[in-house]
Amino acid sequence: MAARIICVGNRQVQGDDFGPRVYDCLAALPVPMDVDIVDGGLAGLGLLPYLEDGRRVFFVDAVAGFTAPGRIVLLAADEVARQCTSGFDHAAGLPYLLKVMPAVLDSPPPTVTVIGHEGAACAQAVRTAARLALHLATQSADDACRA
């Protein structure tokens, strides 16, 4: 089943650059035809069209407060959406996007998993996240859910 890996964050801000670094890593790897890789940057709500073609979606982002520093955590869409405690503003990110997603898409919402990294990321963590994202994206949907 086709999947999409969307790496988000700011490559110019240390600590928020995890997603872009994983994107760079993925871009250098052989990727199956049915896996789409997107450098999502700071696009926020501008990423909504990437959620409308039925693909499973894996966001890669920096996280804070979910696990021990240096560790990678898998989060379901609703858990990330619950972190949205206010309205839209210039700092709105994945929590806001995932909170409004079910109401604003023109198609049924995709299965979304967030691959988050807590704290400063070393090169090994970036490579690990890239491989994990690819592994999950190439699994069957059922296997991905169990993972």
Binding positions for other proteins, rule: CB under 8 A: 8-13, 15-16, 39-49, 61-66, 75, 80, 82-96, 99-100, 103-104, 106, 114, 116
Specify the residue, 15 or 54, whose C-beta has the smaller distance to other proteins: 15
> What is the rounded CA–CA span in Å between residue 20 and residue 60?
9
CA angle, residues 108, 113, 119, in degrees to nearest 5? 145
Specify the residue, 89 or 142, whose C-beta has the smaller distance to other proteins: 89
Least distance in Å: CB of 140 to other proteins? Answer: 27
The two structure tokens encoding residue 36: 């789409």
Specify the residue, 64 or 141, whose C-beta has the smaller distance to other proteins: 64
Least distance in Å: CB of 68 to other proteins? Answer: 13
Specify the residue, 104 or 141, whose C-beta has the smaller distance to other proteins: 104
The two structure tokens encoding residue 15: 């600590």
Contacts of 56 (CB under 8 A, 6+ apart): 1, 2, 3, 4, 110, 111, 112, 113, 137, 141, 144
Contacts of 82 (CB under 8 A, 6+ apart): 95
Least distance in Å: CB of 84 to other proteins? Answer: 6
Least distance in Å: CB of 110 to other proteins? Answer: 15
> What is the rounded CA–CA span in Å between residue 147 and residue 145?
5
Least distance in Å: CB of 39 to other proteins? Answer: 6
Specify the residue, 30 or 65, whose C-beta has the smaller distance to other proteins: 65
